[in-house]
Amino acid sequence: MRTLDVEQLRALLPDIGTAGLADAAASDRPLRGRILKLKLGFNPNSSSVGTTVVVFLWSLVASGAVLSFTAAVLAHRFRRRTRDA
């Protein structure tokens, strides 16, 4: 079972936090499929849509890590939803 390096990812993505994963395993098994697009944060602006330029401060390796982390967050949340149902 793989675990997330939450501190490293928090440094990459201060906005995303740890999503309750600090004490959780990332995933019981590797996820299949992929994230095609990822939009981080809310968009409160009611006239146009903003996109963060911070992604250009990430290295190529780090941007891959962000997508992997996000997939793990989604898997965790969907599992919890199933458990709680």
Q: Are 5 and 45 in contact (CB under 8 A)?
A: no
Strand 2-3 versus strand 25-27 pairing type: antiparallel
Whole-angstrom Cα distance, residue 66 to residue 63? 5
Q: Interface residues with another protein (CB under 8 A)? A: 14-17, 19-20, 31-57, 63, 67, 70-71, 73-75, 77-78, 81-82, 84
Compare residues 3 and 43 and give the one whose CB is closer to another protein.
43
Least distance (Å) from another protein to the CB of residue 23? Answer: 16
Least distance (Å) from another protein to the CB of residue 54? Answer: 5
Phi-psi region of 17 (alpha: psi -120 to 50; beta: other; left: phi over 0): left
Least distance (Å) from another protein to the CB of residue 2? Answer: 15
